[in-house]
Amino acid sequence: MLKHILSLSPDALATDLSAAFPAYRAKQVLAWIYARFTTDPDSMTDLPTEVKEHLKQNYRLELPEVDARLLSKDGTIKYRLKLADACLIEMVMIPEVKKKTLCISSQVGCSRACAFCATGKAGLTRNLFPEEIIGQFILAARDLLPNRITNLVFMGMGEPLDNLDNVLFALRTLQAEKGLAFSPRRTTISTCGIAPGIRHLADSGIKTKLAVSLNSAESETRLKIMPIEKLYHLNELKQALLYFRRKTNFRITFEYILIPGVNMSYEDIRALSRFVNDISCKINFIPYNPTGVEGWSAPTKTQIDDFLQKATIIKQAVTLRKSRGADIQGACGQLAAQVNQTERLS
């Protein structure tokens, strides 16, 4: 079976092509892929026929297919993508005044079964290959032109640290000078708390920010929300985070979904304060985006304001992050799980 052109690092692809053609042809191909965002040789207008035919005969070149593209009233764009084996994944483009943030997937489904996550309800089908991860970026970058992606977050479908080798390969390409030269300062990997994976990431040499889906600093409460707590207790998670922090200049981000009656009491705030106050970090509070959990609801403005007032005891940077794209099934996994209920592209 042919190797995919994105499964080679930019350096490896350049070496591969330079064995058959002058070195400048490799530079042209890399520019088409990583600056003009296409893997279609017929679109590479400055290449001679023999180079185009070489690409077609020696590499797989397909990108994920955009199966649905939904635009929210807040400007968020949600894409459902079909992979070569017909598996479905999602990515989301979140526009702000000075930022264009792309949220991408790392797995088809997820095994971690967080209660608030639509993806977890479907279970894990498989890991994404590096070319499927990089392919998401290329598709989104092309769709966004003439604007550019400013921030990249691995917060889509899947647990990135459960597919860490492929995620790291993709990041090396995304950050490579011959690749996309994407800034580590604008890259974030999110995890539900895979302690060994956090240590592996810290030791990998890849620079990236880390976001942790915490949602409670009380073990019993967190276990109800996130089964991962049974495998990697809060104490083990914290030690892994302190280790990561010693290896990087980046602050850790904690994501905390606000769920009334579950994790918004003053006791919850005190526990969170004890957990985070000796870690260089910031905390994003996120109102729950309902995904069908019985008895759970989105917090009211009054509940949020009351919580934030009490949360002033936390001596870290705190922000309230609004949920985006609720009108287009914005929560991870919602769109892919509802294939027959969404509008297909013509």
Tens of pLDDT, residue by residue over 9-49, are 999 999 999 999 999 999 999 999 999 999 999 999 999 99
322 shares a domain with 204? yes
Mean pLDDT of 301-329: 86
Residue 158 resides in a domain: yes
Residue 302 resides in a domain: yes
What pLDDT band is residue 294 in, cutting at 50, 70 and 90?
A: confident
Quick one: tokens of 237?
């998670």
Q: Amino acid identity, residue 21?
A: F
pLDDT for residue 327? 63
What amino acid positions are annotated as catalytic residues? 90, 332
75 shares a domain with 14? no
**Separation CA 222–CA 118 (nearest Å):** 17
Residue 187 resides in a domain: yes
314 shares a domain with 226? yes
299 shares a domain with 202? yes
Tens of pLDDT, residue by residue over 159-201, are 999 999 999 999 999 999 999 999 999 999 999 999 999 999 9
69 shares a domain with 54? no
Q: What is the chain's alpha carbon radius of gyration, rounded to the nearest angstrom? A: 21
**Separation CA 175–CA 229 (nearest Å):** 32
Residue 346 resides in a domain: no
Quick one: tokens of 288?
């729950």
What pLDDT band is residue 293 in, cutting at 50, 70 and 90?
A: confident
Residue 152 resides in a domain: yes
Q: What is the pTM of this model?
A: 0.91
- 198 CB-near residues (< 8 Å, 6+ apart): 161, 191, 210, 237, 240, 241, 243, 244
pLDDT for residue 343? 35
Residue 214 has pLDDT above 70, yes or no: yes
pLDDT for residue 341? 35
189 shares a domain with 118? yes
Q: 307 with 258: CB under 8 angstroms?
A: yes
Q: Provide the percentage of residues in the chain whose pLDDT is more than 70.
A: 93
Residue 237 has pLDDT above 50, yes or no: yes
Q: Which residue has tokens 């994501």?
A: 255
Tens of pLDDT, residue by residue over 90-148, are 999 999 989 999 999 999 999 999 998 888 888 999 999 999 999 999 999 999 999 99
pLDDT for residue 345? 34
Of 256 and 74, which is predicted with more confidence? 256
What is residue 60's DSSP assignment?
B
pLDDT for residue 323? 67
Residue 85 resides in a domain: yes
86 shares a domain with 15? no
For the chain, what is the mean pLDDT? 93
Quick one: tokens of 303?
């509940």
What pLDDT band is residue 328 in, cutting at 50, 70 and 90?
A: low
CATH of the domain at 145: 3.20.20.70
SS (H, E, C) 136-181: HHHHHHHHHCCCCCCEEEECCCCCHHHHHHHHHHHHHHHHCCCCCC
**Separation CA 11–CA 270 (nearest Å):** 50
285 shares a domain with 148? yes
Alpha helices in 3-80 (DSSP H): 10-18, 23-34, 49-58
Quote the distance between the C-alpha of residue 149 and its chain's center: 13
Residue 99 resides in a domain: yes
296 shares a domain with 233? yes
Asked which of 58, 75, 98 is the last residue of a domain, the reply is 58
CATH of the domain at 26: 1.10.150.530
pLDDT for residue 329? 56
Residue 290 resides in a domain: yes
For residue 116, give its domain range: 65-341
320 shares a domain with 225? yes
Q: Which residue has tokens 């990561």?
A: 244
222 shares a domain with 78? yes
22 shares a domain with 99? no
Structural domains of the chain, count: 2
pLDDT for residue 39? 98
pLDDT for residue 324? 65
How far is CA 209 from each of CA 3, 132, 250, 341, rounded to the nearest angstrom?
30, 21, 6, 35
